[in-house]
């Protein structure tokens, strides 16, 4: 396991535990999230602060209070991808892929792809 993979596994573990301060400690000061739901005006605040503020929104709190089961982790140099089964506190089930870029031993960038699990899938293969 690479150090970058270990870092991202720890980041996900802290998020899963609802440890926002511990999660924040693993984000680079220049952190950027590409999630379109995260409000961020670079002239007003850092990406790190914007993402932490997102976690205090109703959906962010729902995510933190839910559960995350990591199914796959893929690492390639400074990029680490995590395939998760997320269940929010309100019972919404999601398949997510989070991609993290690591710089200077901290998570510096984040992209995610989120898909709700369909109630009636067209095939038996599942999302995971």
Q: Determine contact, residues 107/80, Cβ cutoff 8 Å.
A: no
| Residue ranges of domains in the chain, CATH in brackets | 3-116 (3.10.450.50)
Q: Give the rounded distance of the alpha carbon of 95 from its chain centre.
A: 12
Contact indicator for 63, 112 with CB cutoff of 8 Å = no
pTM flag (> 0.75): yes
What pLDDT, in 10s, does the model give residues 10-53?
Answer: 999 999 999 999 999 999 999 999 999 999 999 999 999 999 99
3-state DSSP call for residue 101?
Answer: strand
- Contact present, 116 and 97 (Cβ < 8 Å): no
- Are the CB atoms for 116 and 92 separated by under 8 Å? yes
Q: Could you tell me if 46 and 127 are in contact, meaning their C-beta atoms sit under 8 angstroms apart?
A: no
CA-wise closest residue to 108 among 54, 46, 45, 38: 46
* Upper half-sphere CA count for residue 88 (Cβ side, 13 Å): 18
Q: What distance in Å separates the CA atoms of residue 86 and residue 69, rounded to the nearest whole number?
A: 6
pLDDT band of residue 1 (cuts 50, 70, 90) is confident
pLDDT digits (tens, 9 = 90+) for 88-124: 999 999 999 999 999 999 999 999 999 999 999 999 9
């Amino acid at each position: 396991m690479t150090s970058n993979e270990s870092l991202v596994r720890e980041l996900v573990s802290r998020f899963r535990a609802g440890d926002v301060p511990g999660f924040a400690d693993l984000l680079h000061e220049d952190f950027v999230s590409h999630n379109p739901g995260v409000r961020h005006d670079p002239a007003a605040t850092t990406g790190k602060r914007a993402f932490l503020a997102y976690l205090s929104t109703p959906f962010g709190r729902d995510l933190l209070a839910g559960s995350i089961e990591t199914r796959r982790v893929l690492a390639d140099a400074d990029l680490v991808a995590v395939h998760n089964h997320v269940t929010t506190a309100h019972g919404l089930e999601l398949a997510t892929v989070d991609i993290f870029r690591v710089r200077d031993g901290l998570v510096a960038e984040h992209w995610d792809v989120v898909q709700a699990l369909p109630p009636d899938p067209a095939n038996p293969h599942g999302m995971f």
